Structure 1
Amino acid sequence: RKKMSSQVSWLVFWVMIVVVILNIVEGGADEETKVHIVYLGEKEHNDPKLETASHLRMLESLLGSKKDASESIVHSYRHGFSGFAAHLTDAQAKKISEHPNVVQVTPNVYYELQTTRTFDYLGLSHSTPKGLLRDAKMGEDVIIGVLDSGVWPESESFNDKGLGPIPKRWKGMCIDGEDFDSKKHCNKKLIGARYYMESLFRKNKTDSRIPDTEYMSAREKLPHGTHVASTAAGSFVSNVSANGFGVGTVRGGAPGARIAVYKVCWQRRDGSCASAEIIKAMDDAIADGVDLITISIGRPNPTLSEIDAYNQISYGAFHAVANGIPVLSAGGNFGPNDYTVQNIAPWIITVAATSLDRWYSTPLTLGNNITLMARSAYKGSEIQAELMFVYRANEMTSAAKGKVVVAFITTDNEVMDYVSTFSTVEASGLIFATKREDDLKVSEGMAMITIDYEQGATIFKYIRTTSSPTIKISSAITLNGPLVATKVAEFSGRGPNTISPYVLKPDIAAPGVAIVAASTPEKMGAEDGFYAESGTSMATPVVAGLVALLRAVHPDWSPAALKSALVTTASQTDPYGEPIFSEGLTRKLADPFDFGGGLVNPNKAADPGLVYDAGAEDYRLFLCASNYDEVHITRISRINTLYRCPSPRPSMLDLNLPSITIPFLKEDVTLTRTVTNVGPVDSVYKLVVEPPLGIKISVTPNTLLFNSNVKKLSFKVTVSTTHKANSIYYFGSLTWTDGSHNVTIPLSVRTQMLKYFSY
């Protein structure tokens, strides 16, 4: 299953969200209402109760009575910022938007979920006495906030064996609900469990569009949140497999960390994850005391801008980052086309998905003794049969009885035509030649196997040149190690960034294909409680677990410093030294638009040498450079007066990112970056540049000297082009090295002699 998967403000922070169209009877007349989010900016009161009281007073003045105000309000946002969600008609929403204290009013929108060997593959074996996992004490006492579809609390991945007391700084709670007893189901591992559904109901508290099969509690029905939470911080569980494959001990990236679950996604007919619930959960997570937030949620294209009223994840993440809480989000599952990456705000850590060095392949042995390794996994008895080829499903007649049928398909709809005929004609098996997909498909009992078009051509040629073609289908085998090349998954969202092309997205890549983790036992195939899932939803909690380890050893690092450490130490090769390629319509070497800095390298990220740091003010200046108006920037700020951009406005190129992306190069440009020394006090770094094709790079100075008095140094980069026409993006790198640390940032440059000209 592949699904995808802000900060405090001051006087001008406003929220967005919550659209549920309802018919409400008021004063005897039917009236259409929607949940709207009213964003007020910075809190007026430190006491949350007083803040909520002020929200009710504002609604009372609008609606005319305390009773109507109480019935209308859905959420009061009162921790990281001030605002509320309420049932309002369009006319009421327009009227309250004119209130002098209101920054913005927006309707609710909906997001989608984005969906062991993983950590050993990344060099974090728990049997190794050295390295980040040991230094971080497995993430001991770090609290990970997981915004998703809930949790299956009985899973062994959430056992609390060996864990100490819950950290005293934790202020959150476990809330009772349907089949969820906080005293029974929460423990020293699962320390928080909240659920949010108020905006999904009509004002009269009926018709939430949530089916009866869903749990009205933090317990999940959708098999997604449990997988995500256990991938990030699940406890050790031995003898685990998914469909009989991947047998071994499963654990999360930070098995010593604590988990706080915020259920914001529901099994519904018209959208899983409501923005009003997401923003409320992020507000609570900030107040609860989480150390990082992971959100495997996104919206389909078009991508929303960083300050778009409907982009609640971006707003909420800005609040969190301003409070020192890193936010990780899925890059989305709409790849492999360009411009499909999601969650593109520069303050978010956006994660792409790669494969592992493990796959489950089905051997197909032809009568000429050529064996092909099929992409999908077959579990069952060996099949030996004649082969036949058909162009269309209606060609599967009685002649197919007892035979294995091969067909080329281009759409999923064609599969159903073949499957419906399969049993009728009593064929022995089906082999589909189709495009490559990075999702583990297991055929159990009935042999329905997928191969790529190249393999299909091999079989087709054999059939056409052999009088009596035969095949042997064996049960799937596990392939491990360097034979299985690492690639960026076909579904993983790709850059460039559609909204801010000067900001490289995604930031980093991690395994997200066939990841074995906990699931609900109600899911078909996961009766033993574990399942292999694929998606950027799976890659994101992998990195979240690693960030938890980094927070444990570097608790003073900012969210930007943590991101920089991940990006500048990432690898462009797999753990065996082989180049990482990108899966898609055609295969190619992966570039920064596929995987950002590269494949995450956690042990190196713990000791990056230098970091590219940034804070809330840097992001505000970036928004100024992006030509957003000052009112919108104020909404996403921590100030209580209108934010004023400097004049002239800064360059978008000068945001201190661990990357340089220039989408419109014509004349020479010069930009600045600043690095902070987090390594040995007395350090000397030399410059190494690999320029993109046809691009000249000049850096001043070319040596950086740090000592006890010099912790930060800036350098200027001048970029020029030798191309005479509009070019594609070319890629390179800029590295500072002291002999033991290689601090590398990706370069992505496109020449545009005639801007916006494309043909």
Structure 2
Amino acid sequence: MGKINILIAMFLTIVLNLQISLVFAETKVYIVYMGKKTHEDPESVTESHHQLLWPFLGSKEAVHDSIVYSYRHGFSGFAAKLTETQAQQISELPEVVQVAPNTLYELTTTRTWDYLGLSPGNSQSLLQKANMGSSVIVGVIDSGVWPESDMFNDKGYGPIPSRWKGGCESGDSFNASINCNRKLIGAKFFVDGLVADKRILNRTLIADYLSPRDLNGHGTHVASTIGGSFLPNVSYLGLGEGTARGGAPGVHIAIYKACWLLEGTCTDADVLKAIDVAIDDGVDVLSLSLGSGVPLTIETDVNLMAMGLFHAVEKGIHVVAASGNNGPVAQSVSNVAPWILTVAATTLDRSFPTAITLGNNITIMGQANFAGPELGSVGLTYSGDCANLLDKPNNPMKGKVVLCFTADLNPRSRAVTIARAVVSNAGGLGVIIARNPRSVNPTHNFPCVTVDFELGTDILFYIRSTSSPSVKIHAPTTLVSHPVATKVAYFSSRGPNSISPAILKPDIAAPGVNILAADKDKEGVVFKSGTSMATPVVSGVVVLLKSLYPQWSPAAIRSAIVTTGSYNHLQIHC
């Protein structure tokens, strides 16, 4: 009898678990967008959301368990766990504008301000006229902040603006009373959309700080580019030496962490809640270095992040967002709504030339970003396609510099990263990569030099001309100003606008290649590239204009930037 009872109990447990699994399998997070608020009281807005859901879910408890967020400040809507049938039924209600599944957005990852003519030494510059943006509050929706960075110190700051309604939230390794100050005046985090969408039953299982603290480093870099305080005598691996600062070093910064290290993404539900809260907190500018992939939402649908930002602009908030890193192909630009100031990326008038001296005493100039010293005369070998290095474990790389070629045009390709790792793991001393010209990423202490196909072919001919080819790789140097031509970055998404070609996008381009800004360290700085890095450059300019002309509307500032932008010394490669 005991065995039968045990078997029955096991059977019932299995059935119950299957039922629970089916419930979870049938539900996912949907965003219900209802447009403009019909109540000014946030609690009344939330109550209206509960009342709308009740007939479909059957009880207050079910409604409470279903709702992830209630959007109740800048606009009306909610995120909830629903079945496909429930989502379809709700979408047919007259008060509902759009119902869409919870989508994912991607993070789009010293010399800059002098290059743009915003030097602190020029009394007539916008920087000085705008008092460094000291009267403005900028909200940054990203991966958080590393508050200990010296670029977030509040030395010389006055009181926090009285209109500010926001604040800071404590959490993992983040103490609101210690980590926030008169510069970093807001820090909040939003993760419930990710938790619900990924079926994470325990929030502590997320491989990130459950707080505004930035594990990724992306948000810290972005925020410091907008408004970082002066940090003199800094460099990365000895390159780009100078004073690091943001475009508006006097601005007040509010951080809204809605992007998480898990998969490197941000969910629609979390981003919309961050926008909703930022509107209520009282930010003047919103900067978003994130965007969706291609294809974009079709014209008959509503892009929910864009609609949330519409309500921000409606409230007079200036919105700046990245165009995306899906270039160089046409029609790859994202964040194409006309009320968004959409930013593409360019190179700077700065490069890191690196001399390669072959054994026949011919010197070839490449590009690299690694910490010296130079690599003395060592053996040189050719290994074909960079992508195939993994398939050549017996190739004699140990103790040599390896030359390989890659024709991969995908800006997200990891061919270079893989080649560098394979050569290093095989005991190689360095790698020369021949490819289409594009930006150079930092490689720390491992020499990785890029050259174009013509120079790569010259090196290959030399290797084949001798039985003992050798090479010396010199330490990189920093070259700035007009001898270095600027151009649209290879990875930067291009127009035309795939939804409505008559709306020209991107709106403006700004430096976004090898931008030096704060890292996850007190005094650390790091180079990063992407339209993510170009966006805060424009956000910094918007802050300065808002400070100088507080009565200007988002459309007026957008017009001022777009109609006065210069293309001098800029090479456009479409």
TM-score (norm 2): 0.89
Spell out, residue by residue over 1:89-125, the C-alpha distance to the aligned partner (whole angstroms, 9 max, x if none): 2222233333332232222111100021110110011
Contact 1:443 1:449 in 2 (8 A): no
1:81-100 correspondence runs (5 A): 81-100=75-94
Q: How far apart are residue 468 of structure 1 and its match?
A: 5.5
1:112/1:415 Cα in 2 relative to 1: closer, same or farther (>3 Å)? closer
1:99/1:212 Cα in 2 relative to 1: closer, same or farther (>3 Å)? closer
Is 1:75 the counterpart of 2:76? The answer is no
Q: How far apart are residue 214 of structure 1 and its match?
A: 0.4
Q: Which residue of 2 aligns with 1:186?
A: 180
Is 1:406 the counterpart of 2:403? The answer is yes
Candidates 38, 44, 59, aligned match of 2:53: 59
Higher helix share: 2
Q: Which residue of 1 aligns with 2:457?
A: 457
Is 1:542 the counterpart of 2:537? The answer is yes
1:483-498 correspondence runs (5 A): 483-498=483-498
Q: How far apart are residue 351 of structure 1 and its match?
A: 0.5
Give the Cα separation in 2 of the matches to 1:179 and 1:419: 32
Is 1:338 the counterpart of 2:330? The answer is yes
What amino acid is aligned across from residue 320 of structure 1 in structure 2? A
What amino acid is aligned across from residue 124 of structure 1 in structure 2? L
What amino acid is aligned across from residue 541 of structure 2 in structure 1? L
Q: Which residue of 2 aligns with 1:746?
A: none
Is 1:275 the counterpart of 2:268? The answer is yes
Candidates 100, 111, 117, aligned match of 2:111: 117
Contact 2:512 2:532 in 1 (8 A): yes
What SS is found at the alignment partner of 1:482? coil
Q: How far apart are residue 434 of structure 1 and its match?
A: 2.0
**Higher alpha-carbon deviation: 409-418 or 149-158:** 409-418
1:100/1:208 Cα in 2 relative to 1: closer, same or farther (>3 Å)? farther
Q: How far apart are residue 466 of structure 1 and its match?
A: 5.4
Spell out, residue by residue over 1:474-517, the C-alpha distance to the aligned partner (whole angstroms, 9 max, x if none): 11111112221111110001111111111111111110000011
Spell out, residue by residue over 1:288-347, the C-alpha distance to the aligned partner (whole angstroms, 9 max, x if none): 1111111111111102246633x2221112111111112111010011111111111111
Contact 1:202 1:208 in 2 (8 A): no
**Higher alpha-carbon deviation: 160-169 or 430-439:** 430-439
1:495/1:367 Cα in 2 relative to 1: closer, same or farther (>3 Å)? same
1:344/1:468 Cα in 2 relative to 1: closer, same or farther (>3 Å)? same
Q: Which residue of 2 aligns with 1:432?
A: 433
Q: How far apart are residue 418 of structure 1 and its match?
A: 7.7
Is 1:255 the counterpart of 2:245? The answer is no
1:363/1:253 Cα in 2 relative to 1: closer, same or farther (>3 Å)? same
1:538/1:416 Cα in 2 relative to 1: closer, same or farther (>3 Å)? closer
What amino acid is aligned across from residue 404 of structure 1 in structure 2? V
Contact 2:149 2:523 in 1 (8 A): no
Spell out, residue by residue over 1:363-416, the C-alpha distance to the aligned partner (whole angstroms, 9 max, x if none): 112344432221223423431134443446578868666443323233554874
Q: How far apart are residue 29 of structure 1 and its match?
A: 6.3
Contact 1:307 1:314 in 2 (8 A): no
Q: How far apart are residue 25 of structure 1 and its match?
A: 6.2
Uncovered stretches (5+) of structure 2, i.e. residues with no partner: 1-16, 409-413
Q: Which residue of 2 aligns with 1:472?
A: 472
Contact 2:423 2:430 in 1 (8 A): no
- Over aligned residue pairs, what C-alpha RMSD do you find? 2.7
Contact 2:220 2:519 in 1 (8 A): yes
Contact 2:351 2:480 in 1 (8 A): yes
Q: Which residue of 1 aligns with 2:143?
A: 149
Give the Cα separation in 1 of the matches to 2:21 and 2:571: 64
Higher relative contact order (CA 8 A, sep 6+): 2
Contact 2:406 2:415 in 1 (8 A): no
Q: Which residue of 1 aligns with 2:311?
A: 319
Give the Cα separation in 1 of the matches to 2:279 and 2:423: 55
Q: Which residue of 1 aligns with 2:157?
A: 163
Give the Cα separation in 1 of the matches to 2:49 and 2:417: 54
Give the Cα separation in 1 of the matches to 2:40 and 2:267: 27
Is 1:581 the counterpart of 2:571? The answer is yes
Contact 1:254 1:546 in 2 (8 A): yes
1:471/1:183 Cα in 2 relative to 1: closer, same or farther (>3 Å)? same
Q: Which residue of 2 aligns with 1:383?
A: 376
Give the Cα separation in 2 of the matches to 1:161 and 1:81: 37
Is 1:294 the counterpart of 2:295? The answer is no
Q: How far apart are residue 73 of structure 1 and its match?
A: 1.5
Q: How far apart are residue 261 of structure 1 and its match?
A: 0.8
Q: Which residue of 2 aligns with 1:224?
A: 218
Give the percent of matched residue pairs that are identical in Structure 1 and Structure 2.
50
Uncovered stretches (5+) of structure 1, i.e. residues with no partner: 1-22, 522-526, 575-579, 583-587, 589-593, 595-759
Contact 1:35 1:199 in 2 (8 A): yes
Q: How far apart are residue 163 of structure 1 and its match?
A: 0.7
Give the Cα separation in 1 of the matches to 2:168 and 2:203: 25
Contact 1:24 1:203 in 2 (8 A): no
Give the Cα separation in 1 of the matches to 2:476 and 2:62: 63
Q: How far apart are residue 565 of structure 1 and its match?
A: 0.8
What amino acid is aligned across from residue 430 of structure 2 in structure 1? G
Is 1:357 the counterpart of 2:329? The answer is no
Contact 1:200 1:208 in 2 (8 A): no
Contact 1:401 1:428 in 2 (8 A): yes
Q: Which residue of 2 aligns with 1:215?
A: 209
1:14-25 correspondence runs (5 A): none
Give the Cα separation in 1 of the matches to 2:416 and 2:538: 37
1:677-696 correspondence runs (5 A): none
Give the Cα separation in 2 of the matches to 1:492 and 1:581: 14
1:561-640 correspondence runs (5 A): 561-574=556-569, 580-582=570-572, 588=573
Give the Cα separation in 1 of the matches to 2:277 and 2:396: 64
What amino acid is aligned across from residue 275 of structure 1 in structure 2? D
What amino acid is aligned across from residue 308 of structure 1 in structure 2? D
Is 1:530 the counterpart of 2:531? The answer is no
What amino acid is aligned across from residue 291 of structure 1 in structure 2? D
1:630-709 correspondence runs (5 A): none
Contact 1:77 1:84 in 2 (8 A): yes
Spell out, residue by residue over 1:29-53, the C-alpha distance to the aligned partner (whole angstroms, 9 max, x if none): 6662112222222222211122212
What SS is found at the alignment partner of 2:164? coil
Contact 1:210 1:267 in 2 (8 A): no
Give the Cα separation in 1 of the matches to 2:169 and 2:395: 60
**Higher alpha-carbon deviation: 114-123 or 94-103:** 94-103
What SS is found at the alignment partner of 1:201? helix
Q: Which residue of 1 aligns with 2:129?
A: 135
Candidates 554, 557, 561, aligned match of 2:552: 557
Give the Cα separation in 2 of the matches to 1:345 and 1:307: 14
Q: How far apart are residue 62 of structure 1 and its match?
A: 2.9
**Higher alpha-carbon deviation: 540-549 or 175-184:** 175-184
**Higher alpha-carbon deviation: 189-198 or 435-444:** 435-444
